Structure 1
Amino acid sequence: MFMPFNLELKIPNILPKCTFHHLKQIHALIITSSLTKNIQFFSKFLRRTTEFGRMDCSHLIFSQMGCDLCTEIMLWNVMIRGYAFNGPFEECIQMFEEMPQRGLKPHNFTYPYVINSCCELGWYKKGNNVHCQIIKSGFESSFAVANSLFNMYLKMPASSDVGMANNCKLDDARKILNDMCIRPVDLWNHMIAKYVNIGNVKSARELFDIMPERDVVSWNSMISGYVKVGQVANARDLFERMPEKNVVSWTSMIGAYADTDDLETARRFFETMPYRNVVSWNSMISSYAKHRKFVESLDLFAQMQSEGVTPDGYTYVSVLSACSNLGDLEFGNYIHYLIGDLSRLEVVVGTSLIEMYAQCGDVDKAFAVFVKIGKKDVFCWNVMIKALSIHGRTEDAIKIFLLMQKMGLKPNDFTFTSALFACSHGGLVEEGRRIFNSMEKDYKISPKIEHFGCLIDLLCRNGQLEEALLLVEDMPFKPDVTIWGTLLGGCRVTGDLQLAEKVVEKATELETNESGVYVLLSNIHASAGQWLEAADARGKMDQKKIWKKAASSGVV
């Protein structure tokens, strides 16, 4: 069948608009005509079949080509490109390795897609071998090839199997950049950003200084580098010299001064900004919260509201933290109202809301929020377990702990700490033993000293002093003053004065300045009517110059 010449010219123009169904019709037309011999036409058609996110149809068409087409490198490049975009990336590499067997030589249109597939697979050793092949074939000077190599060396993790140190990889990326005939500003910026990410501001600045042209990203990257290593004066110098500043530039300076505890200067930058977005507000609000300036954080949030700026999840997390620390339930309720629908809430915001209600004393509201959150992570469950434990709802805390596991979530260190805390304060001895033993047995989590401390506290509170002592002797950690203090509390429960004296001797070997063990020993003797011994325990504090800290209250 012969296709009219005008149709042969029209089809390539309509290919970009063709649906997958149209392509099947065109393919049938190609098969029944001599168009397969037109490599330019056939390659455009084959390429279009790769632009629908899958390669099964393209693979079928390619595999059915005649022998005369199997050695056309243009068609191989089309398939390699398709696999590089759609995957599987292994097929891209496999076709590349098969090319020499077909008498085909890869060139500047082949290598970029092969290098990119190596990156996607994390096959950096293979990518390094391809680089050697590129050098031998003379295509390193091609911008597309050099750009793909440049990006590969920037993406290489420090632990990649190439066997190279991170600095060596950056040196290779730098060499490729230096040798490129065309060096757009974004490539310079990528190199600077990589140096900044590893804290090498010296190399970043050297590159910055020799750039033929800079944009606002170049300046901002260099400023963020100085901020990262705490060189605020250098960051300020660049900021002042910037020909054009944007909101990122100003926000970086707010963070720079906030990180050095200079909140006054940070606030001056904030107030001087010609334009503020939600990130700028978040930076200042979170800075106040991190430095325990909780009232200032809430005041600034109120100002943000008055200026009509819409908060985001980061805003709510900072403000809820401030409410938690201030115990401001009224403001916390207002934030809850602003957040709205909890079912679509980011889990980190929902967790902050739970924590706020718990710290403000409304554990029922905290639990109501917990129930309404859609997809909960382990941290969210941990916060709820801890909240219930602290408020005496220990059995509910354990129920949540067990439900978490039924939901398929794996507990972590903090989960077990909270669960054991609940058992300790709820007198759940058997449950506490079971949970502690399940850590290593079921979850391969080695108990830390705080987990031992919780179980020892549980045993001591319930008169199981001998078992607690055995646990102290068997644990793979040297007991700290908290452990000895816990045992001393157990001695007070059982009235074992002889053991209490031995515990204090052990505690004093730590040469700690904690007064608690001596005060507790004194109280044990006093409760038994042994006033001389009680006074003696206090006297030892005076001899060692250990003073009991006076209590203080935040209530005015």
Structure 2
Amino acid sequence: MRGSLEFTLSKLLPQCTFKQLKQIHALIVTTSLNQNIQIFSKFLRRSTEFGSMEYPNLVFSQLGPQVSNDIVIQNAMIRGYDINGPFEQCVSVFDEMPLRGIKPHNFTYPYVLNSCSKLGWYGKGKQVQCHIVKHGFESNLAVANALFNMYVKMLDSCDSGVVNYRSLNDARKVFDYMRVKPVELWNRMISRYASGGDVQSARKLFDDMPDKDVVSWNSMISGYAEVRDVGSASDLFERMPEKDVISWTLMIGVYANAGDLITARKFFNTMPCKNVVSWNSMISSYNQHRQYEEALDVFVQMHSEGVVPDGYTFVSVLSACSHLGALEFGKWTHSLIEDWSRFGTISGTALIDMYAKCGDLNKAFALFIKIGKRDVFCWNVMIRSVAIHGRAEDAVKIYSLMQKEGLKPNDFTFTAALFACSHGGLVEEGERIFHSMDKEFGIVPKLEHFGCLIDLLSRNGRVEEALRMAKEMPYNPDIAIWGTLLGGCRETSHLKLAEEVIEKATELETDESGVYVLLANMRASAGQWPEAQSAREKMEEKKIWKNTGRSHVYASNGTQEPDIESHSKYREKVEQIRFTSNQCEPQKE
């Protein structure tokens, strides 16, 4: 009878509800099965699978030491904490095991290592690894996998662009020691080398693989794409026994990163099958090389073929519209975004930026208000947009409102706010914002922040103070700062100070035409014709030419009109799209 009950409970526990679990608990207690470690450990393990450790903790606290100190019971609790948290408690139970006279084994270590990874306690994880090696569990597949995952996560936690070679070597040691290596594990090791730029080690591992799948080939091509080795990537692609949509999309990136957009487009056009990522890759490739019209053309083709865009598509297309001043195209793109919640703040911010750069600040601000959850980047774009349209005081108000909303400004926030103050002549407000960076927010001002404040002071007749700041700041002034100071000297007719600025500016041996033109004009206005001619001659010697000026035209209401040619061209394109669509479906109201 008892054996039959044990068998029945073993079958019921894996699929029982929480209510049924409590009933089983009562049955276990009344039949004294709580002393049966096999049954009770299954019950305790199941109790941890409902998303909370409250009930398992209550059950565990009522156990006597004879049961609670069993390794199977301990492992059930460790597993529960690793799944549900708190992860610190998982590590704490592990640390108490020696005090209870319990020896961990291969079922214990993976969960403890996982919790260390989730907490970022990599030092503790290495201590656990010492226990693993000491007790001979390093060759166990589950333990080795957990160790490998920990080192990979350690690599992922490094700052972007920084390669932790020590952690990479540690991961490789764990990898080499593993007796059984599934192809997925080989792929991950190759991917880690490739993403870190060590394509030689990745290729050696790739060549040593006993079996390869399409992911192996793609990982290697991705590595060559990172270092822009077009030849090796192309050679691998041609030798691939099986190519998928990722393989083709990677090759688009390979050629685009190398600047060969013609070949990239050929690959795109000849792809046997495209997905939304492939289209996004082609659009963003054109954007990266400032071929914005081509980017919009690809999007039109994508739309005509019925491919549903995602958030990345809209961000890329709206960015192209912003650069072209293609307001009508941007409006049409906006009309395609039906579900805001699906795409979130990033697409909303791109829309705000597009409307602002195309001159419709009111629409940009209306969208800004409409977005429910605004991140710091969204606020930064709005501050900058308002400032560019000459509404400096409104920009500063938005900057203050952002802080009232509980968001902490970052580097770009201060650049936008200081830019607004500079172009609006808000000297006191600009100085207050600049000095608050370090004092209130712990952000050390960068060169661009000093540049904004120097520009603000120079524009408002405080050139001597601006020059003193340029000399005392912890950065070497660039040509933009010297040009700003030179402009301030011209506005105040401070020729003596201008001489000092000119001397510093010419020491940079810059290829920027602006400073030489300004220098020549100042000397000419002061009657120093030989010196003015000398500045012009220096431009000719260095083959520096002043570009033909081109500016946006502002309407009387303060909005910015986009370039007329681009505006007309893309309005015509949108009308053509709408006409084509209307032939196929009823017009939407």
Q: 1:455 to 1:77 in 2, by over 3 A?
A: closer
Q: SS in structure 2 opposite 1:346?
A: helix
Query: Does the CA-based 8 Å contact 1:116-1:152 persist in structure 2?
Result: yes
Query: Does the CA-based 8 Å contact 1:99-1:105 persist in structure 2?
Result: yes
Match of 2:75? Answer: 77
Q: 1:153 to 1:525 in 2, by over 3 A?
A: closer
* Match 1:150 to one of 148, 151, 174: 148
Q: 1:128 to 1:513 in 2, by over 3 A?
A: closer
1:304 to partner: Cα distance: 0.3
1:195 to partner: Cα distance: 1.6
CA distance in 2, matches of 1:520, 1:167: 49
> Does structure 1 residue 539 correspond to structure 2 residue 533?
yes
Match of 1:131? Answer: 129
Q: SS in structure 1 opposite 2:201?
A: helix
1:216 to partner: Cα distance: 1.3
CA distance in 1, matches of 2:293, 2:338: 24
Q: What residue identity is the alignment partner of 1:275?
A: C
1:298 to partner: Cα distance: 0.7
Match of 2:548? Answer: 551
Match of 2:228? Answer: 230
1:223 to partner: Cα distance: 1.3
Q: SS in structure 2 opposite 1:217?
A: helix
Q: How does 1:340-419 map to 2 (within 5 A)?
A: 340=338, 342=340, 345-419=343-417
Q: 1:36 to 1:170 in 2, by over 3 A?
A: same
Q: How does 1:73-472 map to 2 (within 5 A)?
A: 73-157=71-155, 166-340=164-338, 342=340, 345-472=343-470
1:312 to partner: Cα distance: 0.8
Could you report, residue by residue, the CA deviation over 1:234-291 in whole angstroms, capped at 9, with x for unpaired residues?
Answer: 1112211212111111101110011001111111111111110000000011101111
1:333 to partner: Cα distance: 0.8
Could you report, residue by residue, the CA deviation over 1:483-521 in whole angstroms, capped at 9, with x for unpaired residues?
Answer: 333333333333334444444344334444555455445
Question: Scaled by the length of structure 2, what TM-score is found?
Answer: 0.85
Query: Does the CA-based 8 Å contact 1:386-1:422 persist in structure 2?
Result: yes
Could you report, residue by residue, the CA deviation over 1:74-94 in whole angstroms, capped at 9, with x for unpaired residues?
Answer: 222222222222222333333
Q: 1:66 to 1:485 in 2, by over 3 A?
A: closer
CA distance in 1, matches of 2:56, 2:341: 43
CA distance in 2, matches of 1:412, 1:199: 30
Query: Does the CA-based 8 Å contact 1:77-1:110 persist in structure 2?
Result: yes
Q: SS in structure 2 opposite 1:212?
A: coil
Could you report, residue by residue, the CA deviation over 1:411-442 in whole angstroms, capped at 9, with x for unpaired residues?
Answer: 22222222222222222222222222222222
CA distance in 2, matches of 1:312, 1:47: 41
Q: 1:183 to 1:420 in 2, by over 3 A?
A: closer
1:473 to partner: Cα distance: 4.4
Could you report, residue by residue, the CA deviation over 1:126-162 in whole angstroms, capped at 9, with x for unpaired residues?
Answer: 33333333333333333222322332333334999xx
CA distance in 1, matches of 2:138, 2:105: 10
Q: What residue identity is the alignment partner of 1:461?
A: R
Q: What residue identity is the alignment partner of 2:232?
A: N
CA distance in 2, matches of 1:545, 1:493: 23
CA distance in 2, matches of 1:380, 1:519: 37
State how many pairs are aligned: 546
Q: SS in structure 2 opposite 1:69?
A: helix
CA distance in 2, matches of 1:518, 1:267: 41
Q: What residue identity is the alignment partner of 1:536?
A: P
1:476 to partner: Cα distance: 3.5
Q: 1:241 to 1:412 in 2, by over 3 A?
A: same
Q: How does 1:53-72 map to 2 (within 5 A)?
A: 53-72=51-70
1:168 to partner: Cα distance: 4.7
Q: 1:103 to 1:451 in 2, by over 3 A?
A: closer
1:543 to partner: Cα distance: 5.0
CA distance in 2, matches of 1:471, 1:146: 57
Tell me whether 351-360 or 458-467 shows the greater mean CA deviation: 458-467
Q: What residue identity is the alignment partner of 2:355?
A: Y
Query: Does the CA-based 8 Å contact 2:221-2:233 persist in structure 1?
Result: yes
Q: SS in structure 2 opposite 1:156?
A: helix
| Root-mean-square deviation over aligned CA pairs | 2.7
CA distance in 2, matches of 1:92, 1:474: 53
Q: What residue identity is the alignment partner of 2:37?
A: I
Match of 2:14? Answer: 16
Q: What residue identity is the alignment partner of 1:539?
A: Q
1:297 to partner: Cα distance: 0.8
Q: SS in structure 2 opposite 1:193?
A: helix
Tell me whether 233-242 or 309-318 shows the greater mean CA deviation: 233-242
Query: Does the CA-based 8 Å contact 2:310-2:343 persist in structure 1?
Result: no
Query: Does the CA-based 8 Å contact 2:322-2:358 persist in structure 1?
Result: yes
Q: What residue identity is the alignment partner of 2:15?
A: K
Q: 1:351 to 1:537 in 2, by over 3 A?
A: farther
Q: What residue identity is the alignment partner of 2:533?
A: G
Query: Does the CA-based 8 Å contact 1:521-1:534 persist in structure 2?
Result: no
CA distance in 1, matches of 2:222, 2:137: 36
Q: 1:41 to 1:178 in 2, by over 3 A?
A: same
Query: Does the CA-based 8 Å contact 1:324-1:356 persist in structure 2?
Result: yes
Q: What residue identity is the alignment partner of 1:535?
A: W
1:460 to partner: Cα distance: 3.0
Q: 1:555 to 1:362 in 2, by over 3 A?
A: closer
Q: Where does the alignment leave 5 or more consecutive residues of structure 2 unmatched?
A: 551-562, 566-589
Query: Does the CA-based 8 Å contact 2:48-2:80 persist in structure 1?
Result: yes
Q: 1:104 to 1:467 in 2, by over 3 A?
A: closer
Q: 1:13 to 1:330 in 2, by over 3 A?
A: same
Q: Where does the alignment leave 5 or more consecutive residues of structure 1 unmatched?
A: none
Match of 2:46? Answer: 48
Q: SS in structure 2 opposite 1:68?
A: helix
Tell me whether 188-197 or 291-300 shows the greater mean CA deviation: 188-197
Could you report, residue by residue, the CA deviation over 1:333-364 in whole angstroms, capped at 9, with x for unpaired residues?
Answer: 11111123556642222222122122212222
Tell me whether 7-16 or 285-294 shows the greater mean CA deviation: 7-16
1:5 to partner: Cα distance: 5.4
**Alignment identity in percent?**
63
Runs of 4+ in 1 over 6 A off after TM superposition: none
CA distance in 2, matches of 1:395, 1:409: 20
Tell me whether 81-90 or 339-348 shows the greater mean CA deviation: 339-348
CA distance in 2, matches of 1:480, 1:198: 32
CA distance in 1, matches of 2:263, 2:128: 52
CA distance in 1, matches of 2:329, 2:156: 46
Q: 1:429 to 1:134 in 2, by over 3 A?
A: closer
